[in-house]
Homo-oligomer: A and B are copies of this chain.
């Protein structure tokens, strides 16, 4: 089911009593279409095909997906309900492999709901926990924004990659939360956004939501990062994250590492903004992060039209891993973490 809307603001993801409503981000910016997810299959499909994307947002979608799954499968007794929870964690939690928030959120909902003593209680506890995750994500975004605003005081020319904004979270975003916080405080800010091939989340999503918020934004090609920095167009880079290891190594949208290397070369600070739910402290380093490979057609086509000869093979990692040594600081809801990250991350989790 889908319906089109005008430009009025709609949350990226919302619970509508018996279904999830999301903006179908594959259609932006040409069409603002809200789709309803009322089965597990549609939830998994929406996450896989990136109708909803962004590590915190797919965590929220997965959490609500557990409730959708309980409603769909209607377990008849508490044993079936608990089995159902386990199944749903597996099915929804593996819709995409890299962002740890998804697995974190479904596990958290399972942990809260498994103690229920009837199927109804399990469902009520699951919903309550999913809504708590939403509220917490909103709050985290706001805190990240404020912490980033203090950290980036005096900086007006900021580059970002992909989308770590309102469309990627239940709040105003992580990396873009910092931008919104600066704008809300009346600070001047200009954003250079790299288009983020292959799926163009920079042009389609970040340019869209920043323009919608009245913030100055200039689109650039991914490869023009170095020359933008050399030309003095960038004072700091800030990106979101999909998974952060205990040493600070950060998986994020492919292209992030290239920007980080260029920022280091240009002497420009490189920030990651992410909630604690994006950290995977079970991992010693980024070497252990599984990197999702996307279908080759995502690169050999653009908006459905072929851009490469028939049969061209393509290498299509969705993410890359930026080593901690290239990261100036990680901005979280509990404050700005600084190198050595192994220490600062451990302290943040204590």
A residues in contact (CB < 8 Å) with B: 29-30, 161, 192, 194-198, 200, 203-204, 207-208, 211, 217-228, 230, 233, 254-262, 264-265, 299-300, 302-303, 305-309, 311-317, 320-321
Tell me what chain A mostly uses at the interface: helix, strand, loop, or mixed. Answer: mixed
Whether A299 pairs with B219 at a CB distance below 8 angstroms is: yes
- Name the residue on B nearest A262 (C-beta): B261
Q: What chain B residues lie within 8 Å of A307 (beta carbons)?
A: 195, 200, 203-204, 302-303
What are 20 inter-chain pairs, A to B, with CB distance below 8 A? A29-B309, A161-B223, A197-B222, A203-B307, A204-B308, A208-B308, A220-B299, A221-B316, A223-B254, A224-B258, A224-B317, A227-B321, A230-B257, A230-B320, A261-B262, A302-B302, A302-B303, A302-B307, A303-B305, A303-B307
Whether A308 pairs with B194 at a CB distance below 8 angstroms is: no
Whether B198 pairs with A300 at a CB distance below 8 angstroms is: no
> Complex Cα distance A207/B307, Å?
10
- Name the residue on B nearest A300 (C-beta): B219
Among candidates B196, B207, B233, residue contacting A315 with C-beta atoms closer than 8 Å: B233
- Name the residue on B nearest A308 (C-beta): B203
Closest 10 CB pairs between A and B?
A223-B255, A227-B320, A222-B223, A226-B258, A203-B308, A226-B257, A219-B314, A29-B309, A302-B302, A197-B221
> Complex Cα distance A300/B309, Å?
23
Among candidates B192, B196, B203, B303, residue contacting A303 with C-beta atoms closer than 8 Å: B303
Q: What chain B residues lie within 8 Å of A259 (beta carbons)?
A: 223
Q: What chain B residues lie within 8 Å of A233 (beta carbons)?
A: 315
Q: What chain B residues lie within 8 Å of A254 (beta carbons)?
A: 221, 223-224, 227
Whether A226 pairs with B309 at a CB distance below 8 angstroms is: no
Q: Closest approach, in angstroms, between the C-beta of A24 and any C-beta of chain B?
A: 16
Whether B228 pairs with A315 at a CB distance below 8 angstroms is: yes
Whether A258 pairs with B225 at a CB distance below 8 angstroms is: yes
Whether A314 pairs with B218 at a CB distance below 8 angstroms is: yes
Q: What chain B residues lie within 8 Å of A225 (beta carbons)?
A: 258
From known contacts A203-B307, A207-B308, A307-B200, infer whether A313 and B219 are also in contact, taking CB-CB under 8 Å. Answer: yes
Q: Closest approach, in angstroms, between the C-beta of A84 and any C-beta of chain B?
A: 38
Whether A207 pairs with B257 at a CB distance below 8 angstroms is: no
Q: Closest approach, in angstroms, between the C-beta of A196 and any C-beta of chain B?
A: 7
Whether B315 pairs with A219 at a CB distance below 8 angstroms is: yes
Among candidates B161, B208, B227, B256, residue contacting A309 with C-beta atoms closer than 8 Å: B208
> Complex Cα distance A204/B208, Å?
28
Q: What chain B residues lie within 8 Å of A305 (beta carbons)?
A: 302-303, 305
Q: What chain B residues lie within 8 Å of A198 (beta carbons)?
A: 221
- Name the residue on B nearest A256 (C-beta): B223
Q: What chain B residues lie within 8 Å of A312 (beta carbons)?
A: 203, 207, 211, 217, 219
Other than the given A221-B255, A222-B255, 8 more pairs (CB < 8 A) read A195-B307, A197-B222, A219-B315, A220-B315, A224-B255, A225-B258, A227-B320, A261-B261
